[in-house]
A = this chain, B = another copy of it.
Amino acid sequence: MANDIDKDAAGSSATSRTAPLNIQDVAEAAGVSKTTVSHVLSGNRPVSPATRRKVERIMDELGFKPNFFAQALNSKKSHTVALIAQDITNPFYPALARGLQNAVASANQVVMLFDAGAGHSLTRVFVDDVIQRRVDGVVVAVSNVEDELLELQRAGIAVVAVGSGLSGFPIDWVSADDERIASDATMHLHLKGHRRIATISGPPSAEPGGGRLAGYVKAMGELGLETDANLCAVGDWTREGGAAALYRLLDQDVAPTAVFCANDLMAIGAMDAALESGLDVPGDIAIVGVDDIDAAGLVRPALTTMRVPAQEIGRAAGDLLLHRIAEGTSSSHRHVLVQHTLIARQSA
């Protein structure tokens, strides 16, 4: 049946490495035209059931797989989306990647990974690559790259940004609600009976540092609690920075009984400092972080934290991307605010 077009017979024979088949081969074996084969492949025009079945059977027997590049060249669809990630070794991004893959897989899209790693400047190279490879869309999870986002859009690629501080920018984007994360955490501390609640924030000049600090201040205001400077320490997102910040907080006349830390690493550092100072957590001082990194559940006492659902962010980004790919540049931009969750463990 398939024998009469066995390309293999000509050349290599012993091995099972076959010269790749094309739709012409299938067409001949099925006794139809290339056009018809192409249409049973794409579904772009009706094909009689009998013909369709025959062609499909032949394809199966021959193990025919259409050439991806030829398809892409003609259809101008690569069925590929790129993810440009700040740092793939930061657990946030793999989770995002998974959510993205899950979202776009249904549309037969595959994810191409660009890990900016430590090398910040790589993003430029990636942008060129992404454009040249003519991916259908790209999710940019790197901060401070507004120019690149624009360039990508100009190249006709669907773009979705992930991260804070993009409001007003003409782009689809998804972010966590940093203000509410902070205010919810502060509220939780208040519910636990705390009144003198401090914060260890990230550098407030950039996101998500600014938003989280604002959320804390706002919540304190709404609760009618004072927020003097003695309650606000600035950290640098690291464990050591968190520890140093807590020591400063503890140095005040009236020490706080609770601290909202803008991320888990600083929270764990704060815990180090508290324990080091002979304080009981959460007895003497309650601590809550943000992120829910793996270690949050592994340290003792286990860290109470606000989980930012990276996977959902990835999924939302994928959904936005699919929309944007379908709609082209015409439709107006969307913004998805992803919901966080309080993971109540032992530290607060």
Contacts and interface: CB of A to CB of B under 8 A. Distances in A.
Interface in A243-280: 268, 272, 275
B88 A94 contact: yes
Among A69, A102, A128, A133, the one with the most B-chain Cβ atoms within 10 Å of its Cβ is A69
Number of copies: 2
B113 A101 contact: yes
Contacts of A300: 272, 275, 299-300
B78 A89 contact: no
Interface in A44-78: 65-70, 72-73, 78
A131 interface: yes
Give chain A's interface residue range (CB within 8 Å of chain B): 35 or more
A214 interface: no
Contacts of A106: none
Nearest to A329: B17
Interface stretch (A195-203, A205-213, A290-298): A290-298
A342 interface: no
A348 interface: no
Contacts of A68: 132-134
Interface in A11-66: 16-17, 65-66
Interface of A: 16-17, 65-70, 72-73, 78, 80, 83, 88-89, 91, 93-95, 97-98, 101-102, 110-115, 117, 128-129, 131-134, 154, 156, 239, 268, 272, 275, 293-295, 298-300, 329
9 smallest A-B Cβ distances: which pairs?
A: A295-B295, A69-B73, A295-B298, A69-B72, A113-B113, A88-B94, A65-B132, A69-B69, A94-B94
